[in-house]
Amino acid sequence: MDSKSTLFVFALGALAIAGCERKSERTTDISTAPAEPRRDLPPKSDEPVGGGPIAIDQAINKIVGARCDREMKCGNIGPDKKFSDQNSCMVTVGKDFGDDINADECPAGVDTKELDECLTEARNEDCKNPFDTIGRVAACRTSDICRHVK
């Protein structure tokens, strides 16, 4: 073999040996990127698992939110409107509706399915209809949303 070929084979052999050699002090690159959320876990919720009863205060907050969603849809939130902003709506409606539903009237809590019906009807209530008390929406009356102990 000529010297060029020998040098080439030697260099190729050295590269092969160096490429296969492992160091015992191998470092692991740990990524600092946030992990993707696990898709097999159910979403977090304040509601009980299995559609159990909901506490009165949580139910009222949801109903107030639905009512304010309706007020926004109807154009009643903003400058020179019934409510100056979303927070104003939440506070005012919360005070009004807090008196309509209380723990004494729902000792067993609020039924999840019935509350969902109430929220849907509250959001979809026609803008021309008065909505000054929760009782105006039939699905939101205490007799409908409160769990009844058997």
Q: Please tell me the total count of domains within the chain.
A: 1
Indicate the DSSP class of residue 129.
S
**Residue 88 falls inside a structural domain:** yes
10 inside domain:
no
Indicate whether 106 belongs to any domain: yes
Please give the model's pTM, rounded to 2 decimal places.
Answer: 0.60
Question: Count of H helices and E strands in the chain?
Answer: 5, 0
78 in a structural domain = yes
Q: What pLDDT does residue 100 have?
A: 72
Dump pLDDT digits (tens) for 7-32: 555 555 555 565 555 555 555 555 55
Residue 64 CB neighbours (<10 A): 22
In a domain, 27, yes or no: no
Is 16 domain-assigned? no
Do the domain assignments include residue 90?
yes
Predicted local distance difference test score (pLDDT) of residue 13: 56
Give the domain range for residue 60.
Answer: 56-145
Of 53-62, 78-87, 114-123, the range with the lowest mean pLDDT is: 53-62
Distance from C-alpha of 138 to C-alpha of 141, rounded to nearest angstrom: 6
